[in-house]
Structure 1
Amino acid sequence: MSDTPRPTKLIVALDTQDTAQARQWATGLAGHVDMIKLGLEFAYAAGFDAVSDVAGTQPLFLDLKLHDIPNTVASAVRSLSRLRPRLLTLHASGGRAMMQAARAACDEAFPADARPQLLAVTVLTSLDDAGLAETGVQGGARDQVLRLGALAMDSGMDGLVCSAHELAPLRQELGRAPVLVTPGIRPAGSDQGDQKRIMTPAQARDAGADWIVVGRPITRAADPAAAAAAIAAELAG
């Protein structure tokens, strides 16, 4: 694979339980973002028919963070094939067998030209070193991300979801092969919210992100399309 960095692209997180609101955002941001993200909040509240309806023809990041025994995760991946997401998440902490089962189910259930990239979530951006220690993980977020990232790529994943602060170490350890998707991105001056390990769009781009995920700084802006355009311009700068 070429060592040339891929251009960093923008995903908008449509975090709402309201189908009409999600549809309004998706419609208003079409052409201003590269992909939309729908996750647990929306899928649980509105259902998967609404996920399909809101996504329409736009590329979909389906952020469900699957985590269960291998057979159950494999069955879930097969069940999601009708939605045709471009990106689909599962937890790397589910282990090698679970990730390999998801890989096999994805390759079996999706047409070859419509297979999503499977992304393993390493450490949630709401967790810092102290939060990880409370769960029994020693050594800090960086070490845990590198451990899980290497395991995920060895288990057939296409990429990883990680904090912007782990982008550079992952690139150093794993090279350009993983698709790296980075939530917790906050434009300069915006509210940090519940994220602990954050960066600006340009900082994440320079650290090696392929995709950045931005939610409230876009969707809660007075002009969401203008906010998205400003972030896209920062990424292109």
Structure 2
Amino acid sequence: MNKNIYLALDFPDWEETKRFIDDYNFQGVPVKVGMELFYKEGPSVIEKLKTDNHPIFLDLKLHDIPTTVMRAMKNIGKLGVDLTNVHALGGSEMIKFAKEGLISGSENHDTKLIAVTVLTSMDEDSLHTQLRIPGNLEDNAAYFAEFAQKSGADGVVCSVYEAERIKQICGNSYLTVTPGIRLKNSDSNDQKRIASPGFAKDNGSDYIVIGRSVTKADNPYEAYQQAVEEWNNGIKG
């Protein structure tokens, strides 16, 4: 098991998730649970995964008024996941309240709060023309990372291409979680800022999230092992 690679369980329900884990011997690997699976199954899916000792990244990207986020995070804290996240665009007060709620809900478990900077499905043109956020993408991601750190976040979700700069600004202990990971010859799908596991490691990623390159592969187990090899050996696709 590689503790740096989170496998995205982007399945519609627990039955399909469990079948995939069992069929390809993924018991105990770090996993990411997103909106689709969590909104279908609720907190019970976390308990089921914990029985197989999976480290868990609960990826719900909370973004609401500070008090609502604080109350939600208090409940998330009780689940005992390893990582969970909010949108940095929610602002400094929301991040502070999120951390407060997470701490108050956690018992004997140190859940890390991660702030999403800029989604890897977006590019600079999206920021300018749709969100009307000026400046280049890397500068914006670094800015979000820095103010999230000052607001109590333990790290950020960012693309591989911003991770190294964020480390330089926020320090090596500030966590960088990077989705948009693709193996060689895999489709980019709806991601724009993608990279290989080896490139991610060399560019400052602490954790990577890989999904369709593994879950949609002809042999998911072999694809996952390829990701592990690329990460461990710095192989760049």
Pair in the same fold by TM > 0.5: yes
Report the TM-score, using the length of structure 1 for normalisation: 0.91
Residue 190 of structure 1 corresponds to: 186
User: 2-side partners of 1:21 and 1:221: how far apart?
Assistant: 16
Q: How does 1:76-115 map to 2 (within 5 A)?
A: 76-111=72-107, 113-115=108-110
Aligned length: 228
1:64 maps to amino acid: L
The question of whether the paired residues in 2 share the 8 Å contact of 1:88 and 1:117 is answered with: yes
| Alignment partner of 1:18 out of 13, 19, 35 | 13
Q: Shift of residue 50 of structure 1? A: 2.8
Residue 205 of structure 2 corresponds to: 209
User: 1-side partners of 2:92 and 2:105: how far apart?
Assistant: 20
User: 2-side partners of 1:50 and 1:149: how far apart?
Assistant: 30
| Alignment partner of 1:169 out of 150, 165, 168 | 165
User: 1-side partners of 2:20 and 2:59: how far apart?
Assistant: 17
Higher mean C-alpha deviation, range 70-79 or range 102-111: 102-111
Residue 9 of structure 1 corresponds to: 4
Q: Shift of residue 185 of structure 1? A: 0.5
2:120 maps to amino acid: T
2:116 maps to amino acid: V
1:78 maps to amino acid: K
SS of the aligned residue for 1:114 comes to coil
Cα-to-partner distance string for 1:158-203 (whole Å, 9 max, x where unaligned): 1100001111211222220211000001011111010000111100
Q: Does 1:153 align with 2:144?
A: no
Percentage of identical aligned residues:
36
Report the TM-score, using the length of structure 2 for normalisation: 0.91
Residue 27 of structure 2 corresponds to: 30
Cα-to-partner distance string for 1:80-103 (whole Å, 9 max, x where unaligned): 233211000101111111111111
Residue 235 of structure 1 corresponds to: 231
Q: Which has the higher contact order (CA 8 A, sep 6+)?
A: 1
2:200 maps to amino acid: A
Q: Shift of residue 155 of structure 1? A: 0.6
The question of whether the paired residues in 2 share the 8 Å contact of 1:36 and 1:55 is answered with: no
- The list of structure 1 runs, each at least 4 consecutive aligned residues, that deviate by more than 4 angstroms after superposition, is none
SS of the aligned residue for 1:217 comes to helix
Higher mean C-alpha deviation, range 79-88 or range 185-194: 79-88
The question of whether the paired residues in 1 share the 8 Å contact of 2:121 and 2:191 is answered with: yes
Q: Shift of residue 55 of structure 1? A: 4.4
Cα-to-partner distance string for 1:14-56 (whole Å, 9 max, x where unaligned): 101121111123343125x4x1000111112222223432443
User: 1-side partners of 2:145 and 2:5: how far apart?
Assistant: 22
Gaps of 5+ in 2: none
Cα-to-partner distance string for 1:204-234 (whole Å, 9 max, x where unaligned): 0000100000001111112212211111111
SS of the aligned residue for 1:83 comes to coil
1:140 maps to amino acid: N
Residue 61 of structure 2 corresponds to: 65
